[in-house]
Homo-oligomer: A and B are copies of this chain.
Amino acid sequence: MNTNWCLYENSYNGDMVKYYEGLMTQGNGYLHVRGSYEEGISGALQDEEYDRKPANVTLEKHKKQKSKWGTYIPGIVGPHPYLKTETINLPYLFDLRVNVDGEVLDMENCQIEKYERYLDLRDGVITRSFIWKTKKGNELALTFKRFISMADKHIAVQMLTIKAESGNANLNVTGDINTGVRTNGFNHFIKVIKEKQEGITRVITETNGGNIVTMCSYLDQEGEQVIQEGEQLTITKVIHVSTDRDGEIPELKVADVDIRTFNVDKALKRHRLKWAEKWEAADVKIIGDNRAQLAIRMSIYHLMRADNEDDPRVAICAKGHAGEGYCGRYFWDTEMNMLPFFIHSNPKAARNLVKFRYLTLPGAKENAKAYGYEGARYAWESSVTGTEECACWQYADHEIHVTADIIYAMEHYVKATGDVAFIEECGLEIMKETAKYWAGRVDEINGQYELLGVMGPDEYLPMTMNNAFTNRMVKFSLEKTLKYCREFDQAEKDKLAEWEAIKECLRLPYKETDELIMQSDDFSSYADLDFDAIWTDRSRCFGEFISQEKNYRSKALKQADVLEMMMLFPKEFTKQQLEANYDYYEPITTHDSSLSAAVHGILAAHMGRITEAESFLNKVIDIDMSPEKRGAEEGIHIANCGGLWQLIVYGFAGLNSAMWEEDVVLEPHLPKEWEQLEFPLMWHGEKKRVVVTHEGYKIY
């Protein structure tokens, strides 16, 4: 077990089960399974039904459960009675029950010693081993191993090795595909057929989203047998998963595999090879900071696992397909927080992520229409069709910047990769449709255009006037739209003139020369807060200490807003401006959003405030990895994983964004204890390596 490569647990703790389930989620882009115990744990019901209603996203309380199974195939979604379209938690395919001398294996109730479990980030294999002292006095050494194949997308494998350390053991192992599961308290299954033929268990699930999911498993040894003292045996279960959606994507075509004769050793080799290739293109090496080293690898592991690079019909959901938080939906996080990592490590994956927005353009058009506009309005929370799935109107109605963010991301992809063909193939249509939407969405006031009733990135002010970030982003998106429309000689003349006028006259709530930029026109009219009096425990969310009503009328930012803009448009603001705004906003920013800390860290690094940047680095790492916070319980904060990558690459290594530089330019600000930072970098189609030390940097 390599501590720089493995997420490790060395004792069983019931309170930590759900946290590790999230943190140790395995997957291959196509299929994802949380790191739950194969045998379940007693007292943790998986099929309890309850009403989960929409709520303020920051403060949403999830059902208290000791353990939560989660098996997700991005794209397999269906309607929830309260939450709109959500990813469906599918039958638990790793179910494996062990009975020795009539005693059922259960971490809660059995006598377990020398427990250890780790997820090896290099190949995504989970290994769990321990000694089980049975009530009858036998001692058994058990080792569970499992993986979801990165090479064979439809295959998952699990193995159990049992050695009878003392005494003969009467063993009975049964394997199952457990259909007793719910998603956010709701049963999405219309019909479930389970059958067993020739040793193969087959479960066919019809979902309320209209999909068919087929899971088959084969356990090579079933029934009762005796292990003689000192002997050991290994039981293998091979699982095959497919859906009615697979045929549409050639890479996901279901091969004709006989899981009874499937060669697991070879499969594991293929799987490891694939993972090795992925790591080769992406690994970030930090010498001198083991905590950061493990954290960035954990982040990269989850980014690579969560992304299905072959399938542009899905993106990466806010919990990285590792839980049911945010209902498996796609936010601006994909573009703003995760995409840079893919742009610079796996351009093909990046292309498909951007292309997802092209495939969901029809949904975005429906949204515009539903709101009474022409063109396309991207959903604040998107599922596979692109229609708005956010159940809370304040976000759905007002967080319109996502529609412009998508254009920024597209341009970023094109600038970094040189793939201008993408614009002609997909981008132009998106641009023209979103420009039509903006033309309808702006209000003309005194000869200028304004965007009223807007929620910026800061979700603690739901309806502001002319949010700086949003207006700047929209201006940018119209500028690019006009540029490409002219380049490719597209769109009618009068449309271009209209868009040009809006781009020119869209009012920014600040002047170039302003030192301090107000987040929105009305920002100064909100109330100041006595944070110390209200926020009496800073280890918890600020939002827990204040009513939404009071929060919504006060100057408390959920996350970077003006600062996010300054990060995305670095050439437009002086260092003095950056410092003034950072010093003004940071103290009134609660960082209740997991998208906030990384941005602040990057900017702190840019300003050369390394201690502050390091403190944000710690915050970023803690979001999912802190065993106290257990942030990973409901899934991985995958945007924050992308944020960590950005903090290291843009912040500490000081890479200038490909958006604004043709060449690789670095302005590093390494933390003191970091001896060396090294990472690969795809740039304009070329694979480069960057090595940064305190002496300087090299690119080769």
Contact = CB atoms under 8 A, between A and B. Distances in A.
A535 interface: no
Nearest to A452: B553
Contacts of A453: 549-550, 552-553
| Majority-rule SS of A interface residues | loop
Give how many copies assemble into the complex.
2
A443 interface: yes
A500 interface: no
A51 B81 contact: yes
Contacts of A553: 443, 452-453, 463
Contacts of A51: 81
Nearest to A400: B549
Nearest to A440: B550
A450 interface: yes
Contact of A465 (B372, B525, B549): B525
A550 B463 contact: no
A13 interface: no
Contact of A522 (B445, B522, B527): B522
Nearest to A529: B443
Contacts of A450: 527
A552 B554 CA distance: 20
Interface in A495-554: 521-522, 525-528, 546-550, 552-554
A371 interface: yes
Interface string A252-271: 00000000000000000000
A527 B452 contact: yes
A521 B524 CA distance: 13
A679 to B, nearest CB: 43
A95 interface: no
A450 B524 CA distance: 13
A85 to B, nearest CB: 16
Contacts of A526: 452
Contact of A393 (B371, B452, B525, B548): B548
Contact of A525 (B370, B522, B550): B522
Residue picked from A370, A371, A547, A553, most chain B C-beta under 10 Å: A553
Contacts of A528: 443, 445
Contacts of A554: 443, 452
A525 B450 CA distance: 10
A553 B370 CA distance: 17
Residue picked from A81, A549, A550, most chain B C-beta under 10 Å: A549
A397 B548 contact: yes
A393 B552 CA distance: 12
A548 B372 CA distance: 10
Nearest to A522: B522
Given A51-B81, A462-B463, A522-B522, A371 B549 contact: yes
A387 to B, nearest CB: 15
Given A462-B463, A522-B522, A371 B452 contact: no
Contacts of A521: 525
A450 B554 CA distance: 12
A398 interface: yes
Interface in A356-404: 370-372, 393, 397-398
A393 to B, nearest CB: 7
Contacts of A397: 547-549, 552
A226 B364 CA distance: 69
B465 A550 contact: no
B465 A398 contact: no
Contacts of A443: 527-528, 553-554
A525 B81 contact: no
B547 A372 contact: yes
A519 to B, nearest CB: 15
Contacts of A525: 452, 465, 521-522
Contacts of A463: 462-463, 552-553
A388 to B, nearest CB: 11
Interface in A192-221: none
A627 to B, nearest CB: 31
Nearest to A442: B527
30 contacts: A370-B547, A371-B547, A371-B549, A371-B550, A372-B547, A372-B550, A393-B548, A393-B549, A397-B549, A397-B552, A398-B549, A443-B553, A443-B554, A445-B528, A450-B527, A452-B525, A452-B526, A452-B527, A452-B553, A452-B554, A453-B549, A453-B552, A462-B463, A463-B463, A463-B552, A463-B553, A465-B525, A521-B525, A522-B522, A522-B525
Given A453-B552, A463-B553, 13 more contacts: A370-B547, A371-B549, A393-B548, A393-B549, A397-B547, A397-B548, A397-B549, A398-B549, A443-B554, A452-B527, A453-B550, A463-B463, A522-B525
Listed from nearest, the 9 A-B pairs whose CB atoms lie closest are: A453-B553, A443-B527, A452-B553, A397-B549, A371-B547, A372-B547, A465-B525, A453-B552, A463-B463
